[in-house]
Amino acid sequence: MQCTSACTAAAPAQLQRPGKSRSGFSASMRGTALAQQHTAARGPGSSSRGALRVQARDFPKPDFEGEKSFQEMAAISAAVKAAPRPKEPLTVVIAGAGLAGLSTAKYLVDAGHKPIVLESRDVLGGKVAAWKDEDGDWYETGLHIFFGAYPNLMNLFKELDIEDRLQWKEHSMIFAVPEAPGEFSRFDFPDLPAPLNGIIAILRNNQARTDAGRGRATAGMLTWPEKIQFALGLLPAIVYGQPYVEAQDDKTVTEWMRQQGVPARVNDEVFIAMAKALNFIDPDELSMICVLIALNRFLQEKHGSKMAFLDGCPPERLCQPIVDYITARGGEVRMKSGIKDIELNEDGTVKQYNLLSGDSITADLYVSAMPVDIVKKLMPAPWYQMDFFKRLDKLVGVPVINIHIWFDRKLTTVDHLLFSRSPLLSVYADMSTTCREYYDTEKSMLELVFAPAEKWIGRPDEEIIEATMKELERLFPTEIAADGSKAAIRKYKVVKTPLSVYKTVPDCEPCRPTQRTPLRNFYLAGDYTKQRYLASMEGATFSGKLCAQAIAEDWNTSSVKPSQPAKEPAMV
């Protein structure tokens, strides 16, 4: 989900990289500019990453190792590691050092091969990239949340021995109440087996004031009949599972709700916020498969909807340990090594990757772990004759804006992810409360996802911040004023990603490619490729594991080198 600037495009990547920080509003917004403060009063341990201490109220790691999904994904990891050793390691060049590319490389070294990861930028992570500003504060591409229903990521954290870097929060989903500023509506999951805990969370949904100790509980976002109809509408997904979920790909969320008899108000109260959080678009565009995949995992697994924040920035706290694992086992990761084009052999297979530097690189196998929009841009003309690649035209990245605002005081927020239920904002969190590295007892730093962003992606950062502040005035009516007269902005960052995850509109599912392609020495990884999870961190990680598994299955016992010419050209 995603700092300020007139941005320049980053390689062929979709992210617009931020420039300088902006301190305060422009003078035109409130008459006089705010003082340009730049040093936050930081919490204990902030001067040294090695001295980080837990400050937020965290909860114990869920016992998700007992879930069937975790065990299934652990079995795939084990199978890749136990694959017969190749006669000699294959050199596999992987384009992209996001979670998909790094995951592919991690499991390839487990399978006995030598991956070389190429990254066009100078930062790891792809869609989870982050940078430091001139004050040493981090700003990120998105507001990244780790769910208990992410079994591949949970396995990866365990395999890398970095599980302690996840800060688990209370088992709740919390929604702001726009018509009652300063109030929240909660879905609290009891410590019961799934799906009972999810159904009870829906049925006992209550609305609590921010001063809950003195406030009162009200009826909640939904009436009792609406809660019951909502729960009943979800039963087919619970009963029939993944086949039912995938069969709903041809319907939007709104169409599915009408078909199931779910009241329209459930859309306004729940699904608009959920759709924007999952794919950054509204429910009248989003395919129902996206929502049902998430809800099915949340409702089928006891800990599925539990959320965790990473204890710092993803490139350092998650991506770097993967790189360390890869390089310790003979692999490589090369930064600032963008691909200019893909050169083919006469049989249509890949001959080499030509780089922006003018160099080229050859290997036994080639993997693209780049976003789908970049894959289409770099695709050699002959491949367009193949239906496998032509179907990618349906998959188009959705624009996203991620915002960071540093305030001059501590706001009254919740130690959790919050669904804003705002027309402009999707989700937000006070990172100075939820995250160890960003912890601050004196001042808040809100990270917010601005979505849908299609009409805003080209607008100046000042306009985006002005609109955001108007929305924040509704969320924090006693503490934030749009004119800046209450909590003052010390600085802000706006990260624009014109093409993020693919836009999950109806009928996209048949267009998602498998990790194996029609070309014997070319494979795909990426959250847009075929796997049973969303276009998400989990989907990207799983796609990389599946890609490595396919390579191990195809080549670990083969007596033929994939770099040898094929007897017949690729089918077109």
In tens, the pLDDT along 59-68 reads: 999 999 999 9
Q: Quick one: pLDDT at residue 240?
A: 81
Q: Which pTM value belongs to this model? A: 0.88
Largest CA distance in the chain: 77
What SS3 string covers 38-69? CCCCCCCCCCCHHHCCCCCCCECCCCHHHCHH
User: Residue 401 and residue 496: Cα distance in Å, rounded?
Assistant: 5
Reference 523, options 344, 348, 366; nearest CA is 366
User: Residue 311 and residue 108: Cα distance in Å, rounded?
Assistant: 27
User: Residue 295 and residue 257: Cα distance in Å, rounded?
Assistant: 14
Share of the chain above pLDDT 70, in %: 86
User: Residue 91 and residue 563: Cα distance in Å, rounded?
Assistant: 10
| pLDDT (mean) for 535-558 | 97
Q: Is the pLDDT of residue 205 over 90?
A: no
Q: Quick one: pLDDT at residue 570?
A: 53
Q: Are 446 and 429 within 8 A, CB to CB?
A: yes
User: Residue 343 and residue 366: Cα distance in Å, rounded?
Assistant: 11
Q: Which two tokens stand for residue 31?
A: 């008459």
Q: Which two tokens stand for residue 216?
A: 């009162």
Q: Which two tokens stand for residue 85?
A: 């050793």
Q: Which two tokens stand for residue 88?
A: 């000699």
What are the residues facing 308 on neighbouring strands? 146, 168
Q: Quick one: pLDDT at residue 199?
A: 84
DSSP state of 370: S
User: Residue 496 and residue 19: Cα distance in Å, rounded?
Assistant: 11
User: Residue 422 and residue 405: Cα distance in Å, rounded?
Assistant: 17
Confidence of residue 229 (pLDDT cuts 50, 70, 90): confident
What are the residues facing 397 on neighbouring strands? 502
User: Residue 517 and residue 210: Cα distance in Å, rounded?
Assistant: 52
DSSP string, 188-256: EPPSS-TTHHHHHHHHT-EEEETTTTTS--BS-SS-HHHHHHHHHHHHHHHHHHHHHHHHTTTSBHHHH
Confidence of residue 498 (pLDDT cuts 50, 70, 90): very high
Q: Is the pLDDT of residue 4 over 60?
A: no
Task: Answer whether the bond into residue 243 is a cis peptide, omega within 30°.
Answer: no
Q: Are 428 and 416 within 8 A, CB to CB?
A: no
Q: Quick one: pLDDT at residue 220?
A: 60
| pLDDT (mean) for 49-54 | 38
Q: Which two tokens stand for residue 502?
A: 């693919």
| pLDDT (mean) for 131-135 | 95
Q: Quick one: pLDDT at residue 566?
A: 63
User: Residue 383 and residue 367: Cα distance in Å, rounded?
Assistant: 15
Which residues have a Cβ under 8 Å from the Cβ of 78 and sit 6 or more positions away? none
In tens, the pLDDT along 134-169 reads: 999 999 999 999 999 999 999 999 999 999 999 999
Domains of the chain, CATH where assigned? 68-125+310-395+515-557 (3.50.50.60), 190-207+219-305 (1.10.3110)
| pLDDT (mean) for 91-96 | 98
Q: Are 428 and 447 within 8 A, CB to CB?
A: yes
DSSP state of 319: I
